[in-house]
Amino acid sequence: MVNASTEKWISDRVLKLTCTADDMRPLAQAADFKEGVHKWKEPERAQLRAELDAAYFILYGISHDDAAYILSTFQGMADDDGPTLAPTSAASLILDFYDALAGA
């Protein structure tokens, strides 16, 4: 079950990804997002997306191995030589966060 702290953790990341322009200020205000407009920084955005993806795998009860398989089925997530994940890929980052969030 998702508790209030999990909801806040998720909403903070979603709002940082979403509220990146002045036209999103009404959403930021409605969600009580103190930053208002969050500066777009691609490395931070990649990290936030990976954290959220990992969290959703965990919340849906998907194992690490199954998450790795699922990610390997997406174009651009696997090595060119086969179904293994590239060590610097987005999938690898997601799985690293999975391990951190799951306490592995």
Taking the chain (104 residues) in runs of 10, the rounded mean pLDDT of each run is 83 96 94 91 94 96 95 72 61 94 84
pLDDT at residue 74, as a whole number: 83
pLDDT at residue 72, as a whole number: 87
Where residue 52 falls (left for φ over 0; alpha for ψ -120 to 50; beta otherwise) is alpha
What's the Cα-to-Cα distance from 45 to each of 13, 82, 85, rounded to whole Å? 9, 27, 21
Torsion, Cα of 35, 40, 42, 46 (10° steps): 40
DSSP 85: B
Tokens of 36: 């208002």
